[in-house]
């Protein structure tokens, strides 16, 4: 699924900051009168050189100098998950403090495991955070329940804000619109690859697959060969695994299902389809890594999580999202690592899941103007640029996303997270029932497959009975 605009590597790196003039922080109160002039001047004078994306820092420095003082203080709550992004969030908050000192931001980091229960409960109970992260899986349900603030009137009221919005990739804008109106401001996007331990690869007598034709030789057969070669045993004990095959959808089996021509739901999202032959074949291939002893099972993962196993050199291959890259760059110190695409299925396709978050405002907020000032700042060139420049996640804007792909950041094949956007699928979401209500049956059945050896076909047939009932509104 394309983003509506295609970039070569050099173009993608060198377009950074070129759209900054006239769009930065237009919503901040009080108005920063000289911002447009300052940003335009910097863009004219600065030469963007590959590997040195420091223009954001220069803009930040100059913008702060001309920001007007605040008057009345307003408190705004901002809820999010993902401690690996703490550094970027802190940078955004620090800059915003100087740009809008009248707005006191209260940052609330909630672990993923508790996030959605807390948010849904807060929205239903009238104690929702003013602003918060939203994913595509929950957007349809929340907007249908009339809990989100419509951003469109505010965007339409100011051309500069509308321009900021339009700089987001097309598919991300579409994902956070309802009946033509924007209800969440795109923040970032992510795609999936396989991280590979280059030291273990070399020890196994292997090298990275040929990158010709988008790594076309890297298929299910080769992936299994690599995982087999990187698996080590001492007697009955496995000391090193070739690959992680976790019980996850976005960073796991969905990628294999779609690559093999399978689907999760039918076109009108009324029936579960992962019990059909292409999906079942993909799931059998995916789960074979555990059944054949090349991937850690539940006991090994309880002792040490999959990411820690990779970081400590115990696993050769691991599915990762682009949001994991910065953390791996910080934590991997004893070996070099790189990225490979999802292996090609017998269909000839390599398809990964694509997703993106949005910054959202609760309809019930009592501080709508201040909340929108914060959200529109996050969507501005400076706010969005912090994400790319800090090696956290890929910004949703076409002019700040290049910062994340700078060659100063590892891994060498970082471009895969960009090039595979044209070979990606969005998660199949439903508004009512929510995606979470039916997706749990897939996870439950896959747990039985992975941990207890249940037959894949039987598991998916059992999942279909429950999921089709849920989709039809029948109690389960």
pLDDT digits (tens, 9 = 90+) for 215-269: 999 999 999 999 999 999 999 899 999 999 999 999 999 999 999 999 999 999 9
pLDDT tens for residues 27-78? 343 333 344 444 445 444 543 444 444 555 555 555 444 444 446 899 999 9
Environment class of residue 248 by beta-carbon count within 10 Å: exposed (0-12), middle (13-18) or buried (19+)? middle
Burial (CB < 10 A; 0-12, 13-18, 19+), residue 168, is buried
DSSP 145: T
pLDDT tens profile 139-183: 999 999 999 999 999 999 999 999 999 999 998 999 999 999 999
Instruction: Report pLDDT for 55.
Output: 55
Helix (H) or strand (E) holding 73: none
Q: What is the pLDDT of residues 276-299, one digit of tens each?
A: 999 999 999 999 999 999 999 988
**How far apart (Å, rounded) are the C-alpha atoms in residues 132 and 380?**
17
CA 263/CA 453 separation, integer angstroms: 23
CB 319 within 8 A of CB 246: yes
**Among 246, 244, 242, 243, which residue's Cα sits nearest to residue 229?**
242
Residue corresponding to tokens 């090039």 = 419
**From 224-228, 234-238, 413-417, 446-450, the region with the lowest mean pLDDT:** 234-238
Domain pair 9-189+365-411 / 192-354, same fold? yes
Tell me how far apart the alpha carbons of residues 438 and 193 are, in angstroms, rounded to a whole number. Answer: 26
CA 313/CA 291 separation, integer angstroms: 22
DSSP classification of residue 68: P
In the prediction, which pLDDT does 58 show? Answer: 56
pLDDT at 266: 97
Domain boundaries along the sequence of the chain:
9-189+365-411, 192-354
Which two tokens mark 358? 């949005």
Q: Can you tell me which residue has the tokens 């054949």?
A: 292
Q: pTM for this one?
A: 0.84
Superfamily of domain 9-189+365-411: Periplasmic binding protein-like II (3.40.190.10)
Domain 192-354 is of which CATH architecture? 3-Layer(aba) Sandwich (3.40)
Distances in Å between the Cα of 394 and the Cα atoms of 223, 354, 384, 388 are 27, 12, 9, 6
Strands 131-134 and 358-361: antiparallel
Listed in sequence order, the DSSP H helices in 145-276 are 152-157, 159-166, 170-175, 198-203, 212-215, 220-229, 254-259
Task: Name the band, by pLDDT with cuts 50, 70 and 90, for residue 428.
Answer: confident
């Amino acid at each position: 699924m394309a983003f509506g605009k295609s970039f070569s590597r050099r173009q993608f790196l060198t377009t950074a900051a070129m759209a900054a003039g006239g769009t930065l922080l237009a919503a901040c109160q009080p108005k920063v009168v000289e911002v447009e002039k300052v940003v335009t001047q910097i863009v004219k004078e600065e030469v963007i050189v590959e590997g040195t994306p420091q223009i954001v820092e220069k803009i930040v420095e100059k913008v702060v100098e001309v920001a007007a003082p605040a008057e009345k203080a307003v408190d705004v709550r901002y809820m999010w998950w993902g401690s690996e992004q703490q550094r970027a969030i802190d940078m955004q908050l620090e800059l915003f403090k100087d740009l809008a000192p009248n707005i006191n931001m209260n940052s609330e980091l909630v672990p993923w495991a508790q996030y959605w229960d807390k948010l849904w409960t807060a929205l239903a109970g009238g104690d929702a955070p003013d602003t918060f992260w939203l994913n595509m899986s929950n957007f349809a349900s929340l907007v249908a329940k009339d809990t989100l603030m419509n951003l469109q009137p505010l965007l339409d009221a100011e051309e500069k804000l509308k321009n900021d919005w339009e700089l987001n990739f097309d598919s991300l804008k579409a994902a956070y619109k309802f009946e033509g109106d924007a209800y969440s401001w795109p923040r970032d996007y992510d795609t999936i690859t396989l991280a590979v331990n280059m030291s273990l690869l070399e020890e196994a007598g292997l090298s990275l697959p040929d990158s010709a034709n988008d790594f076309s030789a890297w298929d299910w057969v080769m992936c299994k060969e690599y995982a087999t070669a990187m698996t080590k045993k001492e007697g009955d004990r496995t000391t090193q695994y070739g690959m992680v095959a976790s019980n996850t959808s976005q960073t796991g089996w969905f990628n294999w299902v779609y690559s093999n021509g399978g689907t999760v739901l039918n076109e009108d999202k009324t029936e579960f389809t992962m019990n059909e032959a292409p999906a079942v074949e993909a799931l059998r291939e995916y789960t074979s890594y555990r059944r054949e002893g090349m991937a850690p099972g539940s006991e090994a993962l309880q002792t040490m999580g999959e990411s820690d196993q990779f970081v400590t050199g115990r696993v050769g291959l691991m599915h990762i999202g682009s949001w994991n890259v910065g953390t791996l760059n910080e934590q991997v110190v004893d070996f070099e690592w790189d990225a490979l695409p999802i292996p090609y299925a017998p269909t000839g396709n390599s398809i990964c899941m694509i997703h993106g978050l949005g910054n959202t405002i609760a309809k019930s907020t009592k501080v709508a103007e201040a909340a929108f000032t914060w959200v529109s700042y996050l969507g501005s060139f400076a706010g969005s640029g912090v994400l790319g420049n800090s090696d956290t996640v890929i910004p949703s804007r076409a002019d700040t996303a290049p910062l994340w792909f700078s060659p100063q950041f590892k891994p060498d094949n970082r471009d895969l997270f960009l090039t595979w956007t044209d070979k990606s699928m969005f998660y199949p979401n439903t508004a009512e029932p929510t995606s979470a209500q039916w997706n749990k049956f897939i996870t439950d059945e896959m747990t039985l497959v992975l941990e207890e050896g249940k037959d894949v076909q039987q598991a998916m047939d059992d999942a279909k009975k429950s999921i089709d009932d849920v989709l039809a509104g029948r109690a389960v």
